[in-house]
Amino acid sequence: MVEKPLIVLDFDGVIVDGIKEYWSSSRQTCINLLSAKEKNIISFPSEIPKAFKAMRPWVNYGWEMVILAAECANNTSQFKLLDLQNFSKNYEIECSLALKKWGWTPFQLQEALNQTRKKAISNNFNQWLNLHRPFSLVTERLKTLENEGIEFAVLTTKSIEFTKKLLDCFDLQPNLVFGHESGSKVDVLNQLLQKRRIRGFIEDRRTTLEKVLEDPRLKSIPCYLASWGYLKPQDRNNLPSGIKLLNLDILREPISKWS
């Protein structure tokens, strides 16, 4: 086992705010997938719709953003007709119904989204980069971990390729990077724990942290909910004993003082 302990962090919502890039890429992916007839009927706003922003905390995978973008632009969709509270209550069901309606599959949308991003990076990398806003206090703190003898890893549902490009631009060099290609976060943490001592897992998705708590093999990992991330309105309330709300003031403190 490697002696240096490891902090594991989610990426989007913890290290970077990528909502502008998500809308831009999801919007363009939809346009690429629509038929000529559909393009004459459906239009996509350049500005991020409020509904798209509001639903971000419910999104698990990139392809879901594409289906939400399509629903934002379709005036007859359930996304537009239902209030957001009702849509969010049945989020997975509504996304499945929308997939069937559009005739798309998750794999198709994820691959199309990846291709859209590759093209955007190739055509104008700086423009693509500027759609991402790193949380400066977080990136600065990660650069000081070495002083405490701690390394960090990034565990995200983004692709490894795009994540590494952004990390390089933020001048961050994690020891390990895991993307959606690596498997579920619970599985990756289990694999990591065979080789490393994990001092904490920082995530802005409460349900993901709860899944970690449910796995008895991961009980040694302290779980932290990032208060600055994409949280649902009720996420901060009544946290289970295994999850601690982490704010930026606590983040600045030595890790030994976090718990």
CATH of the domain at 160: 3.40.50.1000
Residue 172 sits in which domain range? Answer: 6-17+134-257
∠ CA(114), CA(116), CA(118), 5° rounding? 70
Domain end point (choices 113, 129, 145): 129
Domain contains 1: no
pLDDT band at residue 2 using 50, 70 and 90 as cut-offs: low
Rounded Cα–Cα distance for residues 51 and 49 (Å):
5
Q: Which amino acid is at 241?
A: S
Whether residue 227 contacts residue 245, with contact meaning beta carbons closer than 8 Å, is answered with yes
90's enclosing H/E stretch is: none
pLDDT digits (tens, 9 = 90+) for 109-131: 999 999 999 999 999 999 999 99
What is the mean pLDDT of the segment spanning 229-251? Answer: 94
pLDDT tens profile 97-112: 999 999 999 999 999 9
* pLDDT > 90 fraction of the chain, expressed in percent and rounded: 76
Q: Residue 22 above 90 pLDDT? A: yes
From CA 120, how far away is CA 24, in angstroms rounded? 10
DSSP strand pairing (16-17 vs 133-134): antiparallel
Are residues 246 and 202 in contact, defined by beta-carbon separation less than 8 angstroms? yes
| Residue 85 pLDDT > 90 | no
pLDDT of residue 190: 97
Q: What residue ranges in 181-259 does DSSP mark as E strands?
A: 198-203, 223-226, 243-246
pLDDT at 1 over 80: no
Beta-carbon-side half-sphere exposure of residue 42 (alpha carbons within 13 Å): 23
- Asked whether residue 77 falls in the same domain as residue 204, the answer is no
> Is residue 242 exposed (0-12), middle (13-18) or buried (19+ Cβ within 10 Å)?
middle
The residue ranking higher by pLDDT, 176 or 42, is 176
- Is 43 in the same domain as 152? no
| pLDDT > 70? residue 81 | no
Evaluate if residue 231 carries a pLDDT over 70: yes
* 120 plus 145 within the same structural domain: no
90 and 110 in a single domain? The answer is yes
d(Cα 203, Cα 68) in Å, to the nearest integer? 22
Q: How many residues does the chain have?
A: 259
Question: Does residue 140 fall inside a structural domain?
Answer: yes
On whether both 10 and 105 belong to a single domain, the answer is no
For 158, residues 6+ apart whose C-beta sits below 8 A from its C-beta are 11, 12, 62, 179, 180
Residue 32 lies in a domain: yes
Q: 30-70, pLDDT tens digit by residue?
A: 999 988 888 877 888 889 988 899 899 999 888 999 999 99
CA distance 241 to 56: 26
Distances (CA, A) of 209 to 134, 216, 240: 22, 13, 10
223 shares its domain with 238: yes
